[in-house]
A and B are shown apart, each in its own frame.
Chain A
Amino acid sequence: MTEKTDNQRALGRVLRSSTASFTAGCRTLEDDLPVFGALVQAERRDGAAVYGLIYDVRVDDDPFVRQLIAAGDLSEEYVQDQRQRRQVPVEVNVLVVGGRDRSGQVYQYLPPQPPATLSWVTLCQPDQVRQFGQRLDFLRTVLDAADAPADELAAASLRQVAAATGSPGDSGPARRYLEAAGRELARLLSREPARLNGILQRMRP
């Protein structure tokens, strides 16, 4: 990750935002590229935050990078220069699924305000993921998302919450969580059995 704030792993900062989604810009670091489906938060100074799920990560190229790739072997200094020093950030698109108010209360509906430009965007810690995943209201927002690969995102986010809940096993808390999520999905997608089946297949850890 590029920087750290309050012991949390910072992805980057908000580039642009709207009520339903925002885009964070971050510098590339090979091992720490943001993960599809991860729960992140855009923080406010007053302790409130907007929660969202990563649904797209873009590493844009430019003619310079293309030329370097065509040139073949690159020394490590050149690679690090391109990754860390050039103003070609990795763009991380985030679907807003809820937030946290100043009192620390987590909610799963669209926040009253989008995150401000240059707000820190950090990866949520496992306990935050668990706390957020206790309710499943966010699934409707995900399934209705027009710009995101909704089914893949729903499955990936549920796998993530399950992993934060406990180790996988036939009767463990992760398993129980996925079963509960499956039932909620069945309710939401009662008229779309094929779609439901597709998501359930992808939820397997």
Chain B
Amino acid sequence: MLELNRLTGQVADLAQALAGQRSDQRQRTERARQQLRLHAQVTEELRHKIDVARRADESWRGADPLGDRLDQRIQTGPQTEPATLVAVDGSQIYPDTHAIALYYLTNVGAIVLRQGSGAAPFTSTAPLLRMANDDPLEEQDHDRVDADEVNLRRDLREMETLASLARRQREELGGDMGHLVVALADGPLLPWLPQRMPDKEQRERVRRFTAPLEDLRASYAAPLGYVDRPRSANVLRLLHLAQLPLEDISKERLRQRNDYDGLSDAALFQDLRPGQRTALFAATSEINENFDGAGHRICFCYMNVAPEPDEADRIVEPDEKNAVMARVELPVWLAADPGRLEAALAAVWADCRLLHYPYLLTRAHELALVTRQERAALEQMLHIEMMRRGLRSEESPKANTKRTVGGR
């Protein structure tokens, strides 16, 4: 039990500390913006510094600018042509050694909306139940499937579903390449691979994760990874690098505490107007290099997806406090097609108008979600099937007692 009366003082202290931190971050963000203006031009020297930094520290997570200015702002226009939007999201039940069996489940929710059709969108869910240890039904053998592995398998299924639905949409459009098909994923397009993964396995993972991107490219779809409230700081690390003298760039200096610690790129660019986005960057990471090798280097920009103020409010400048920052990731081949990229971003911005977040991702999430009651029903089904086969299936005493006392 939580004795709330013992926390009143601590809650006040925490709020005070947060207020202090916010004020400090505001000042430091302002200084970062000044530095961004000073180092806005992407010079040969900066590109050289990026190369040196990557060699000095392989795990340096900076940003590699695609254009020639760091402070570029591009206004996304209103959507002019209806598009088809495909969105997916996934959820999971992680393996639990206290559950009745060691299993895991991934569920992918998908939605396809044809703008201007007036028709209800197509929706689907695809649950997949598997054993959490050596699974003869899986292609690859693993001694044990842990939470990281479940996340990766879920992410892969999401991308495969996205690619499959986008391909079907293109077929249903009779191959009309003039019609925009936006394929929206929840979260980054670059998977997070555990450091401990051997090179061979990492290569295999990259192959499997880039295959759907290849499929999406073949379908002439526009894949976008949407990251809400991003905490990333790749551009700030680039800014820190830009301020370092070339001869001072070393692993130690790159990792040293600096004025930008604790800040985010989203705060740096929070003064974007509604619908504005930053220049395009590519995250510097080993996995992105591997994606690059497969022709699918992942780029990103930040965008303020807040709706354009109504006519009546236009006399007042939009306040950056009202900005709704998103990080949008895309493969480099989409970045090379600015017209299609801008049209895709316009479609996503329009889809954000209602909820300040893509409506389609909200629905995909809702479709994918596995509620506690559904999980209980699933385990009941599993329990019955195991009993039919003479298997003993019981929760651990710990899980049982936790459920008993937690059910109040």
Residues of A within 8 A of B (CB): 64, 67-68, 71-72, 74-78, 80-81, 83-86
Within the assembled complex, what's the spacing in Å between the Cα atoms of A78 and B359? 9
A81 touching B354, Cβ below 8 Å = no
Which residues of the other chain, A, contact B117 by a CB distance below 8 angstroms? 77
Within the assembled complex, what's the spacing in Å between the Cα atoms of A151 and B113? 46
A77 touching B353, Cβ below 8 Å = no
Nearest to B359 among chain A residues (CB) is A78
15 contacts across the A-B interface (CB closer than 8 A):
A67-B354, A71-B353, A71-B355, A77-B115, A77-B117, A77-B118, A80-B118, A80-B119, A80-B120, A81-B113, A81-B120, A83-B120, A85-B111, A85-B121, A86-B363
Within the assembled complex, what's the spacing in Å between the Cα atoms of A85 and B111? 10
Nearest to A62 among chain B residues (CB) is B366
A77 touching B120, Cβ below 8 Å = yes
Which residues of the other chain, A, contact B116 by a CB distance below 8 angstroms? 77
B362 CB–A CB distance under 8 Å: yes
Within the assembled complex, what's the spacing in Å between the Cα atoms of A81 and B119? 8
**How far is the CB of A89 from the nearest CB of chain B, in Å?**
15
Within the assembled complex, what's the spacing in Å between the Cα atoms of A76 and B366? 20
B114 CB–A CB distance under 8 Å: yes
Sorting the interface of chain B by its residue count into under 10, 10 to 19, 20 to 34 or 35 or more gives 10 to 19
B123 CB–A CB distance under 8 Å: yes
A81 touching B363, Cβ below 8 Å = yes
A68 touching B354, Cβ below 8 Å = yes
A64 touching B120, Cβ below 8 Å = no
SS class, residues of chain A in contact with chain B: helix
Which residues of the other chain, B, contact A80 by a CB distance below 8 angstroms? 118-121
Residues of B within 8 A of A (CB): 111, 113-121, 123, 353-355, 359, 362-363, 366
A74 touching B354, Cβ below 8 Å = yes
A78 touching B354, Cβ below 8 Å = yes
Within the assembled complex, what's the spacing in Å between the Cα atoms of A86 and B109? 13
Which residues of the other chain, A, contact B366 by a CB distance below 8 angstroms? 64, 86
Nearest to B363 among chain A residues (CB) is A81
**How far is the CB of A180 from the nearest CB of chain B, in Å?**
46
B118 touching A71, Cβ below 8 Å = no
Nearest to A84 among chain B residues (CB) is B120
Which residues of the other chain, A, contact B123 by a CB distance below 8 angstroms? 81, 85
**How far is the CB of A105 from the nearest CB of chain B, in Å?**
40
Within the assembled complex, what's the spacing in Å between the Cα atoms of A194 and B366? 52
Ranked 3 nearest A-B pairs via Cβ: A80-B120, A71-B354, A84-B120
Which residues of the other chain, A, contact B355 by a CB distance below 8 angstroms? 67-68, 71
**How far is the CB of A64 from the nearest CB of chain B, in Å?**
7
Nearest to A83 among chain B residues (CB) is B120
Which residues of the other chain, B, contact A81 by a CB distance below 8 angstroms? 111, 113, 120-121, 123, 363
Knowing A68-B354, A77-B113, the reply to whether A85 touches B120 (Cβ < 8 A) is: yes
Which residues of the other chain, A, contact B121 by a CB distance below 8 angstroms? 77, 80-81, 85
Which residues of the other chain, A, contact B363 by a CB distance below 8 angstroms? 81, 85-86
Which residues of the other chain, B, contact A74 by a CB distance below 8 angstroms? 354
Within the assembled complex, what's the spacing in Å between the Cα atoms of A78 and B355? 12
B362 touching A75, Cβ below 8 Å = no
Which residues of the other chain, B, contact A86 by a CB distance below 8 angstroms? 363, 366
Within the assembled complex, what's the spacing in Å between the Cα atoms of A85 and B120? 7
